[in-house]
Structure 1
Amino acid sequence: MEMLHLRYFVAVAEELNFTAAARRLHMATSPLSQRIKDLERELEQRLFDRDTHRVALTPAGNALLPIARDILETANSIPWRLREATGPKRSTALFGIPAGLHPALRLRVGVLTDRVREQCELQRWPGSTPALVNGVREGRIALALARSPFSDPAMEQLLVMSERMGAAVPTDRFAGRDSVALAELADLAYAPLPKEVRVPYFDVLDQELAERGIRNRLNLTDTGFGGVTEVISSGLAFSISLLDPDSPIHGYQLENITVLPFSDFEPHLDTVLVWRRDRADGGDLEDLMRAAREVFADPDHR
């Protein structure tokens, strides 16, 4: 079994959509499907139930997913663990990175990594906002970028980016438009991101939309970003997305989708830097957090 087979499997298992998984892996759908079939033959287990409408994990696929993630996580950690074992003895600090992080923030993480290189090796660690915040709380992660809102009295937060959001709508319905009002979306269902991939802010957003009269929901399950873009592209629904074309989320969009600003609604997604107060103020991360506060001092508004 090759490591690539596990990477292909995890991508399909997380997206539950072969087209979206292929896009994420920068490959065509047909060879990805063939590699999954090869893996199933080697394991003598069917990993996915798939037809023309949906892809779902089988019991064997559900069992394999955490195993595959652990193996890939171990493999991905080999380079920095080897450097740590053979290089000059420096401490290693994990920096939590949420999915879909804006490239401008990635650049700042790189600046911070270079600035503290002599005192510690800053290693990026991916995860959802709840997982990253929990990691910081437990001390496994030194600091993290996370999506607001969340609250924890032991944590400090610093706003680093605020991104405007708009309506992801079928292009053919709103051709030539430069904005849209909520009332104009009343005949479309609202398709929120599936629970397994959405951040806490979207629960707040869902409540705000309901209060403003958007109550028709199209709740998708067993899918990822790809499933939401499919129903928008087909004209069945709208969703909420980031307006900035540089946002990685735009990589999931299909044809016939446009993101328009609202004329009567101003949603925005805030990203904050979060760390544990007791580790920064006179603690073991004091120097690192001093540098981090300087690098992320000016919030970026998009």
Structure 2
Amino acid sequence: MEMLHLRYFVAVAEELNFSAAARKLHMAASPLSQRIKDLEHELGQQLFDRSTHHVTLTPAGEALLPLARDVLERVGAIPWKLAEATAPRRSTLFLGMPAGVHPDLRDRVNALAERVGARYELKRWPGTTADLVQGVHEGKLALTLARLPVTDPALAQLPVMSERLGAVVPAEQFAGRDSVSLAELAEFPYVAPPGEITPAYFDQLDHQLHELGVRKRIRLSNTGYGGTSEVISSGEAFSISMLDERSPMHGYRLDNVIVLPFTDFRPQLDTGLLWRHDRADGDLRGLVAAAKEIFAEPITT
């Protein structure tokens, strides 16, 4: 039995769809199906019940799934466990930082680095939430700040900040206003930040807006947050971003753009500190303990 067979099995078991699992694995569905059949033949057990429209796990498949996940997790942990075992006494560790981290949260990151400085050199590593979460899962990052929700069961989460969001609107149309209702924006297209850089929360927010009557959309790609501001400043759309003026996200605002609180809607973006469960009682025991103390009280803006 090869490790790839277990990876293929877990992917199909999680998706319960061969085509979706094949896309996730960057391969064609036909060879994936054959690899699963090879594994079933080797184990002498049918792992999936297949029909034209449904794929379900058999009792054997349900029994194998936690075993396969455990094996893959253990093998995946070998690089970082080996690196930690052979590391010098003062280890260099990386903490992931998504875009737009509030200065109050940065202060706590700095406090953590100072607290553990005798044992660890804690360096910051930038990236999107998805990339940073994957980095922690793979052991490349010790910790990360991440925009919630994050659903990886291998990771522990500590809520550290909740930021109220407001409507990013053209200043000329809303001059002199100190708030805005969602109903007033129903005829404006909503422009979300490009999908490749936004956390999963904004997908949920998009769905909420649709349910609340905001149906028009402008989709951007490969433009960054500045592209969103360009569209809004022209008076054609609105978006949603951090309300607090101290948020670094306000650095992307153009002159003809303002952020107003909603009167009938209260979106908020939550940020968590994440680490692997299996490292909290191992090589990161001291770092995680210090982080739990420093980030014990979540920040609210």
Q: Same fold (TM over 0.5)?
A: yes
Question: Larger C-alpha radius of gyration, 1 or 2?
Answer: 2
Please tell me the residue identity of whatever aligns with 1:242.
Answer: M
Please tell me the residue identity of whatever aligns with 1:296.
Answer: F
- For 2:125 and 2:145, the matched residues in 1 are separated by 10
Alignment TM-score, normalising by the size of structure 1: 0.69
For residues 221 and 153 of structure 1, do their structure 2 counterparts lie closer, same or farther at Cα, with a shift above 3 Å needed?
A: closer
1:182 maps to which residue? Answer: 182
2:237 maps to which residue? Answer: 237
Secondary structure of 1:237's counterpart equals: coil
1:106 maps to which residue? Answer: 106
2:293 maps to which residue? Answer: 294
- For 2:181 and 2:291, the matched residues in 1 are separated by 39
1:158 maps to which residue? Answer: 158
Which runs of at least 4 in structure 1 moved beyond 4 Å after TM superposition? none
1:277 maps to which residue? Answer: 277
- For 1:89 and 1:150, the matched residues in 2 are separated by 32
Contact 2:190 2:217 in 1 (8 A): yes
- For 1:222 and 1:157, the matched residues in 2 are separated by 30
2:248 maps to which residue? Answer: 248
Identity among equivalent positions (%) equals 59
Deviation readout 1:37-58 (Å, 9 max, x if unpaired): xxxxxxxxxxxxxxxxxxxxxx
Q: Which runs of 5+ in 2 are unaligned?
A: 1-87
Determine if the alignment matches structure 1 residue 137 to structure 2 residue 137: yes
Secondary structure of 1:172's counterpart equals: coil
- For 1:173 and 1:204, the matched residues in 2 are separated by 27
- For 2:219 and 2:160, the matched residues in 1 are separated by 31
Deviation readout 1:102-149 (Å, 9 max, x if unpaired): 111111111110110111111111111111111111111111100001
Please tell me the residue identity of whatever aligns with 1:223.
Answer: T
Secondary structure of 1:269's counterpart equals: strand
Secondary structure of 1:194's counterpart equals: coil
- For 1:120 and 1:126, the matched residues in 2 are separated by 19
Contact 2:128 2:199 in 1 (8 A): yes
Please tell me the residue identity of whatever aligns with 1:184.
Answer: E
Q: Kindly state the Cα deviation for residue 178 of structure 1 after the two structures are TM-superposed.
A: 1.5
1:173 maps to which residue? Answer: 173
1:263 maps to which residue? Answer: 263
1:217 maps to which residue? Answer: 217
Secondary structure of 2:178's counterpart equals: coil
Contact 2:165 2:242 in 1 (8 A): yes
1:192 maps to which residue? Answer: 192
Secondary structure of 2:238's counterpart equals: strand
Alignment TM-score, normalising by the size of structure 2: 0.69
Q: Kindly state the Cα deviation for residue 221 of structure 1 after the two structures are TM-superposed.
A: 2.5
Contact 2:91 2:120 in 1 (8 A): yes
- Aligned-residue CA RMSD in angstroms? 1.1
Q: Kindly state the Cα deviation for residue 89 of structure 1 after the two structures are TM-superposed.
A: 4.6
Please tell me the residue identity of whatever aligns with 1:241.
Answer: S
- For 1:114 and 1:135, the matched residues in 2 are separated by 23
Aligned residues, how many?
Answer: 214
Deviation readout 1:29-73 (Å, 9 max, x if unpaired): xxxxxxxxxxxxxxxxxxxxxxxxxxxxxxxxxxxxxxxxxxxxx
Contact 2:187 2:214 in 1 (8 A): no
1:207 maps to which residue? Answer: 207
Secondary structure of 2:172's counterpart equals: helix
Q: Kindly state the Cα deviation for residue 187 of structure 1 after the two structures are TM-superposed.
A: 2.0
Secondary structure of 2:218's counterpart equals: coil
Contact 2:220 2:228 in 1 (8 A): yes
- For 2:220 and 2:184, the matched residues in 1 are separated by 22
Please tell me the residue identity of whatever aligns with 2:190.
Answer: Y
Please tell me the residue identity of whatever aligns with 1:271.
Answer: T
1:57 maps to which residue? Answer: none
2:146 maps to which residue? Answer: 146
- For 2:197 and 2:122, the matched residues in 1 are separated by 26
- For 1:187 and 1:207, the matched residues in 2 are separated by 16
Deviation readout 1:192-227 (Å, 9 max, x if unpaired): 111122121111100000011111001122311111
- For 2:89 and 2:288, the matched residues in 1 are separated by 20
For residues 298 and 173 of structure 1, do their structure 2 counterparts lie closer, same or farther at Cα, with a shift above 3 Å needed?
A: same
Contact 2:89 2:119 in 1 (8 A): no
Alignment of 1:36-185 (within 5 A): 89-185=89-185
Deviation readout 1:156-207 (Å, 9 max, x if unpaired): 1111010000100111111121111111012211111111221211111000
Deviation readout 1:79-113 (Å, 9 max, x if unpaired): xxxxxxxxx85111111111111111111111110
Secondary structure of 2:289's counterpart equals: helix
